[in-house]
Amino acid sequence: MKTLVWTLPTRIFHWLLALSFTTAYILGDFDDLKNYHFAFGAFVGVLIIFRILFGLIGPKYSNFRDFPIGLNHQKAFVKNYFSKDNYVGHNPAAALVMLSILLVGLFCGISGYLLTVDGNNAFNIIGNNEWLEEAHEVLANVFLGLVIMHLVGVFSDAVFHWKTGTLTSIFNGYKNVEAENAKLNIFQKAFSILWFIIPFIFLYLAFGLQENKSQENSKYKNERSRHDDDDDDD
């Protein structure tokens, strides 16, 4: 018996997120490809906002209501990891990692966007851009850490619970379990169409963003103070 666990929007989201996160992360390190980084970063952020909304209005298993994140679920999961596999949607550890990916990804996108907002803008209430830059980098690396945890989880699950078919479920939607199929209503279908159009519009728009000037200045100041320190050493 097979059950449809991940409907098409969840799977499309997954692979778009995997591709765009990897691209944004790598591009973050290339100064001359900054605009491509902004574009893919914004794509990740907007894609995630839609996934969060889908978590509130989406079908069974993809809906946050079906994420077993409570402490008792976590304890039972650890205790029975090798003996049982009775989760249809995300298992408790996976559900925690998935939610963390969504939250960290959202804040990573927001902090990146704020780095492009002019220093005189109201957003500058956050203050020090060096702090923001640091936060953006930390969030990007925590995101990467969560992806690594996710992959360790997925592949260890494939070793210990191969029969459930979790690994292949993110490609074809189905797990080898007996449960209710996930099903999309008309509203969820309409929502999903917007979900996979709007992030591309933001990708295009974000390409034209520029790193904010006070950010450049703060970097310039850093460079200068480093030079001054070097001079002092001489």
C-alpha span between 9 and 71 (Å, rounded): 29
Whole-number minimum distance, CB 202 to ligand HEM, in Å? 9
Does residue 3 touch ligand HEM according to CB under 6 A? no
Which span sits near ligand HEM by CB under 6 A: 72-80, 165-173, 182-190, 221-229?
Answer: 165-173
Does residue 195 touch ligand HEM according to CB under 6 A? no
Residues 6+ apart with CB under 8 A from 87: 68, 77
Does residue 47 touch ligand HEM according to CB under 6 A? no
Cβ atoms within 10 Å, residue 3: 19
Residue from 3, 116, 188, 192 in contact with ligand HEM (CB under 6 A): 116
Say how many residues make up the chain: 234
Which span sits near ligand HEM by CB under 6 A: 76-84, 106-114, 183-191, 192-200?
Answer: 106-114
DSSP character string of 158-194:
HHHSGGG-HHHHHHHSEESS-SPPP---HHHHHHHHH
Which residues on adjacent β-strands are paired with residue 3? 175
In b/e form, how buried is each residue of 198-227, taking b as 16+ CB within 10 angstroms?
ebeebbeebeebebbebbeebeeeeeeeee
Residue from 167, 179, 184, 198 in contact with ligand HEM (CB under 6 A): 167
C-alpha span between 213 and 151 (Å, rounded): 38
C-alpha span between 170 and 11 (Å, rounded): 6
Residue from 150, 184, 196, 214 in contact with ligand HEM (CB under 6 A): 150
Whole-number minimum distance, CB 229 to ligand HEM, in Å? 20
Residue from 44, 135, 177, 182 in contact with ligand HEM (CB under 6 A): 44
Q: End-to-end CA distance of the chain, in Å?
A: 75
Residue from 137, 149, 184, 207 in contact with ligand HEM (CB under 6 A): 137
Does residue 73 touch ligand HEM according to CB under 6 A? no
Which span sits near ligand HEM by CB under 6 A: 74-82, 102-110, 119-127, 192-200?
Answer: 102-110
Amino acid occupying residue 158: A
Which residues lie near ligand HEM (CB under 6 A)?
10, 13-14, 17-18, 21-22, 24-25, 28-29, 37-38, 41-42, 44-45, 51, 62, 90, 94, 98, 101, 105, 108-109, 112-113, 115-116, 133, 136-137, 140, 143, 147, 150-151, 154, 166-167, 169-170, 206, 209, 211
